Amino acid sequence: MNEDKILTSGIRVHRSIRGARGFFYPDINKSFLVRKECKAQVQAGWQQYRGCTAYVVPTEAFSPNDRYDSGCSRMVVWVPFDDNRA
């Protein structure tokens, strides 16, 4: 069972992209580091995919170059199971 957690600085996560049938998936070709420890909330209603779980996190936890939109306060990233540590 996935739960909300704290992502520590240095964990590598994947960008979220829209794919088949309008669903969102982890972009296995694009990953980046958490730069600032943050609270991550499980993205409600999303299924795990290819060893990753989707979380909503504050945008400020990432480098400006890795953010989807600097005007947004939160974004969705995919955390690999091996980094799904609370």
| Domain that includes residue 41, residue range | 5-83
Report angle CA 3, 83, 32 to the nearest 5 degrees. 110
Assess whether pLDDT exceeds 90 at residue 3.
no
Report the domain count for the chain.
1
pLDDT digit string, tens, across residues 24-79: 999 999 899 999 999 999 999 999 999 999 999 999 999 999 988 878 999 999 99
Kindly report the pTM of this predicted structure.
0.89
Which strand (E) or helix (H) includes residue 14?
A: strand 12-18
User: Exposed e or buried b for every residue in 6-40, given b needs 16+ CB within 10 A?
Assistant: ebeeebebbbbeeeeeeebbbeeeeeeebeeebeb
